[in-house]
A and B are shown apart, each in its own frame.
Chain A
């Protein structure tokens, strides 16, 4: 597009908004009514909705406006909204994209999806039910996501006889609650979506209300983005190298402005250079703004690749591996401190650990309470430790570079999202000391290839017995070994830990780090730990170099372990005397791809020989 306008103030701009609130507050009905009254529906859509309303509508002979948006079969059958629907419409004054989001608590993540790209939230309340937890939760998430403008719609006024007292009382309650949420504009509106009161036209049934109807408010509210006036940031997305003579760095300008001749700095290395060209299909450009997808050619040959962030030298983003953030958890498996996840921030994907969970924030009262984990739809403040330093800003200062998502390493599900508060300096002030005698020097002196033999399995599966016999054999062969046994370590290094999921994660993290140090000392380390979670076994694997971590699954059926019960623990656990016992109340996640599986019911000599064979095959013996 060659003739783009410089003046964006004239003409119709775009407003992205969402509708949210508790289930059955009439969100989909409101949008359906708005489209209907504003005459924004097509003829065939009107015919279809009339037919649908007869078939599966919930208002007898009347039109069920929600069916315009609830497009999934499951939604229409159950009469609920499951996922966010996007609708596009345009009036004489403005273009709109509306995200109609679900009210059910279990689908809060879909509401967050809709909120993340919205400028304004229309929050609905059922006049009969008042301000509910879900109203508060959605208001809180809207505020977390940085939405500055809110219209509170008190809906179903027809069912409370259009009573002004009901409206003003709910309005007062909400204003009181929302005081701390930092909304720039907040207007309250009495509506009947079903009857059309105060949707497109002022209500005849509520002459006591003199505010503008919803559509007029949506057309009038002024939202502007400050992202153009912020310092320049661009996460590098892709390096364009069609031939040896061209190297361009592609990405979307996340904030600020860039022009040919400007100096840019690579946040990671601190190296600077100048912008030589801004290449585009339509010819070179002189400058680019926030939101533009550009291809920059830099004057000097400096190292830049995907995941790097380009910035202006006088106002750089933070570059650190630890920060504090608010996290909204979106998965049924809770967030556990010290478990590792993947983080996507800008164009970087890296391993990440929640080092500490500062607190959980109650969505009703905003009270901060201590917490061991974050369950589905909960919000907490966390210390986040990324595997490597990354460039970021606080979300308040710069939305584009202050946000991230968390991904589960196994299912690849998006399990959480976060908004950064500030960098934590503790990581930057602790420097690694370079060691003069290296790992390889120590290993050479030992005349052996160090590794971890990680024995995992249920309690009573025979891990400790097998590890002991194995260590005797290795010792007899002249190997330098060390045995770390779960029970013994729990009496010493880890005696402060219990058996909750969070403590189990920390238990394995510590023993993993200890085993790693021993490998660096050149030892063959035998670890006999139940280690029930795949995620932590994988975390230890990733601490080590390739081939150093050998996972051995001691596979003994549950009933065999129960029968053996050498410590009498199963009897107690099954009796309910030990909570969180693996295999009883707490899960054991079977290894998917262990280096070796040994049959825990076979005799120890056979299993030992199988492991020795593995070590020979891997060149360790």
Chain B
């Protein structure tokens, strides 16, 4: 990965910017150039909500190259409050206490390093929203 490839994804990685089709009301994350639902080519920029719930998740023990230092870590499929789905690491969570449907919120975290001299990658991760007892919220 290169600095230019890091740089061009910043709106998505730091601000959760998506594309929105005003004609058929579909949201795309990451953004697209055309709406694959209705064919419209006039999509707008949309900022995604930062809260949602965990649809499913995995705990990665055998990581791809570049993630060895972080294993085991959790990656989840998240459904945001507006119905948009995305894939993200789940941070600040105990895998044994995690469950489907827990409420999560976005945070900015370091994702990985790129060798000794390369840029450090940052981006969204999600963490469980805890209730007053320190347990993950689950308001279905």
Real complex partners, A and B? Answer: no
Interface set of A (CB-CB < 8 Å, partner B): none
